[in-house]
Amino acid sequence: MRADAVQQHRRSVGEFDRSLRGQQPAQDHARHQRFGSAHPPLLRVGNAGVLTLAALSSLIVPASASAAARADSTPPVRPALLPGAGASRGEAYLAVPAQDPLNGIASATAAGCLSRPRQCPQLLAGAAVTALGGALVGGWLGYQAGHRAARDECTTRFAGLPAADSQVQTPETADGLPAPLRFNPADIDPDHPPCQSLYAHINSRWHATEQRPPDQSLWNMPTMLQERSLALQRRVVEQAANLDTPTHVEKIVADLWRTGMNQRQINADGIAPLRAELAAIDALQTPEAIEAHLHALTAVGLNPVFGFGVDLDMDARDSQIPYAFQGGLGLPDRNYYLDAEHAQAALAYRSHVAHVLRLAGDAPAEAERQADAVLSLERRLANASAPWDELNENVTNFYHPLTVPEADALTPGFRWSALFQALGVAPPDRLSLATPAFHQAVGRALTNEEPATWRAYLRFHTLDSASPFLGDDFVRAHHAFHARTLQGQDAMPPRWKQVLAAIERVAGEALSELYVPVALPAETRARAIALIEQIMAALKRRLAVVPWMDPETRATALLKADTFRPRIGHPERWPDWSGLHTESCGYLRNLRAATAFAQRNELARLGAPVDSARWRMTAQTVDAYHDVMNNDIAFSAALLQPPYFDVEADDALNYGAIGAVIGHEISHAFSAESSQFGLDGSLHGWWSDADRQRAAAISAQLAAQFDQQQVDGLPLNGRLTANENLADLSGLAIALDALEFAHRNETDPMIDGLSREQRFFLSWGMLYREIRTRERLQRDVETDVHAFGPPRADVGPANMPAYAHAFQCPPGAPMTRNASERVVYL
């Protein structure tokens, strides 16, 4: 489903779009197919729309911001990143030395160059990384020495701020939360017959009365459920913020919340928290210095050019390797730079770049010049980026393992060996460059582009990605382009939602630890587990007779079905947050601390034992996924609420909703993509060539059906959505079999005058009601691996004879496909 990583990450494999930039959070993983509607294998990192493979579970947050230090400004104190205790695993706390550490770095480097002249270039590069790392992290996390009084003042000021205003748009229950969304037979519209369109039959009346909230570009069932989740999240973080003696996790969440809600202090600070980083960018004069700067940004999880994280080696799942992914773009996709139909968006982006630079203090003419430089560099990167639908066809498109010397030779201008040195980790045996041509282009650009171009690019993306966490002018500028221009989202979300989104990005699992006890009753979890068992049994019955599999393939498929590991609600254990230190003053500083902490934990996985219990989403995100390599299926606590799962509803409604979602996720394990991973999770195919050809033909047939669909005049891309469409069709068929088997000896109760099968399909159709802005439609048709709601609701049932039987649809009706057109996968 959707909330995105590895999206991320992720981001992040459909995740529900709750990013501050209108893009995906970072926990979306490319090897995870998700049920919802968003971007899967790749994740958009931050505002820049950096496409990053969701296969990595790194907590990548928006590429950080910076603002130019003015010539007359007082240089800030630059805390040093401690390589010893302060740099231990998971530690993200900075100490401030008595003197500026840059002086010591410069002195040591000069002495080294004098004594070892041949090693001077390496010493200079290392010094650059250390100095930039200190400046970057110091700028984000510093100001700790000599500022206790200011922190006390900040805390006092916050105590008097009014409570956040609520803009929840849905009816509330007695507990003050948005009312649960349940199936209502009054929604059925007889003026839109079910044999014409299931979507219109169950959703047209909703469309006639529902209005899209102005702070949403997509208003659908997942986003409506997310409203309830957000209201509950707000309650738990406000409770944590009022505790006298919070636990460490409660303090992290409370500090992020209080500092984020203190807009008066944020406005007063202006861009001061970013001056050190902008000063570091302004000092970049050579390709080597720029490369070292990117190394330093990667070390703290803020590289705007490419995504970087650690995950399982596809060819040896008992080990973990680094993955690097294409990115670097401020627009949603490469097509926005290369296709004439997006020319207006590109022009709007250029204006936005110049506007953000002017807000940071640049003169108008200089801001225009830098905007041209940014667009020029990003067009080069876009030309070298792989098309979205091509990458999405197969997760192994992201797996190109190389040794570090091989990677160095492939990308002159960017040395991976120097990166690992800067990261403070031993060079791995190999790493994967997900899109080699893109990384080659980055290396060439580092060598060939003028340093001034790179300075403009880095200054803008640093500012732009931090804009949601700065003063009001930056927040408004960010929304105006990324939400309103690109997605048609009229209004900004209320401040409390913005802050919750930021907490989700950098400390989502800490928030989960507070959310789960009040969000997931034990009865709900137990009922969900029982339902999964029913769906799994139906899957095995279908696998035993699926016609396109050879006998050997079928036998392996049944063995694979026995190895599924369902995960319900939340992780088995919570992460250790003891290495993250936050404060009661300094919103951006706290966010940077959490980002650096996450990246340090990410890098610590290199050489460490594989954590097979690791989750790839947060409990408060309305989402579900299948992990290809671990053969896990996971369903978040926030998903297990009506209408997806309702303990008060009859089985037909639950099987048509959460049952079909479960079926969707488990069916991913038998896709062409998953067929490349053996029972042990390593890259080892288990289909015959004949199996592969027959499955490809079925996929192409279903893709052709979606190619014929249009929404508001926009044709769908059946190739882009093929994997998710097959999972929808298979999951629906599996869930219906499970329902019929569970009630095989029972009389149909005909609830609300509807048969069991009718309620099953109506429940499915209800899940896909949606309202998207035109801008969001145009973006998603090129980048979303899930089809839009109307065809997603209709195409699957139209391929099932059971639907025509349930609603007595005659041959030739739009919802009745004849036998030669009908698609059956599992």
What single string gives the DSSP state of each residue in 76-131?
PP-PBPPSSGGGSTT----B--SS-HHHHHHHHHHHHHHH-GGGHHHHHHHHHHHH
- Is 175 exposed, middle or buried (CB count within 10 Å of its CB: 0-12, 13-18, 19+)? exposed
Which residues lie below 8 Å from residue 309, measured CB to CB, with a gap of 6+?
6, 9, 52, 56, 57, 58, 60, 322, 323, 602
CATH number at residue 653: 3.40.390.10
C-alpha torsion sign, points 824, 712, 185, 640: positive
Tens digits of residue pLDDT in 747-797: 999 999 999 999 999 999 999 999 999 999 999 999 999 999 999 999 999
What is the DSSP code (8-state) at residue 659? I
| 212-258 pLDDT, tens digit each | 999 999 999 999 999 999 999 999 999 999 999 999 999 999 999 99
Q: Nearest 5°: phi and psi at 27? A: -100, 25
Higher-confidence residue of 92 and 94: namely 92
Task: Name 401's bridge partners.
Answer: 432
- At residue 486, the pLDDT reads 96
Give per-residue pLDDT as tens, 369-415: 999 999 999 999 999 999 987 887 788 889 999 999 999 999 999 99
Higher pLDDT, residue 161 or 606: 606
Quote the CA–CA distance of 717 and 472 in Å, as a whole number.
Answer: 39
How many domains in the chain?
1
- Whether 276 maps to a domain, the answer reads no
Whether residue 19 is contained in a domain is answered as: no
For 34, the token pair is 């998700």
Q: How far apart are CA 82 and CA 684, in angstroms?
A: 43
Residue at 761 is within a domain: yes
Q: What DSSP character marks residue 674?
A: G
Q: What is the pLDDT of residue 69?
A: 31
SS3 (DSSP) at 320 = strand
Q: What is the pLDDT of residue 595?
A: 98
- pTM attached to this predicted model: 0.82
Question: For residue 322, which of 390, 441, 407, 410 has the smallest C-alpha distance?
Answer: 407
Q: Is residue 804 part of a domain?
A: yes
**To the nearest whole number, what is the mean pLDDT of the chain?**
84
CA angle 469, 470, 473 (to 5 degrees): 125
Is 296 domain-assigned? no
Query: Got the DSSP string for 628-639?
Result: TTTTEEEEETTT
Average pLDDT over residues 249-268: 98
Alpha-carbon torsion, ordered 422, 69, 51, 404, to 10 deg: -20
Q: Give domain status of residue 747, yes or no.
A: yes
The answer to the question of residue 696 being in a domain is yes
Instruction: Locate all alpha helices (DSSP H) within 489-563, ordered by sequence.
Output: 495-519, 522-543, 551-562
Angle at 120 between CA 116 and CA 123, to 5 degrees: 105
Read off the pLDDT of residues 311-359 as tens digits, 9 standing for 90 and up.
999 999 899 999 999 999 999 999 999 999 999 999 999 999 999 999 9
Domain that includes residue 685, residue range: 533-563+649-766+788-826
pLDDT given for residue 391 in this prediction: 83
Cα 77 to the center of its chain, rounded Å: 34
The pLDDT value recorded for residue 112 is 44
Question: Is residue 162 a part of any domain in this protein?
Answer: no
What's residue 79's pLDDT?
A: 27
**At a CB cut-off of 8 Å and minimum separation 6, what does 502 contact?**
20, 256, 260, 468, 469, 591
Q: In which band, very low, low, confident or very high, does the pLDDT at 6 lie, cut at 50, 70 and 90?
A: very low
- Residues whose CB falls within 8 Å of the CB of residue 740, separated by 6 or more in sequence, listed in order: none
Residue 451 · residue 286 · CB < 8 Å: yes
pLDDT digits (tens, 9 = 90+) for 448-463: 999 999 999 999 999 9
Beta bridge partners of 80: 95
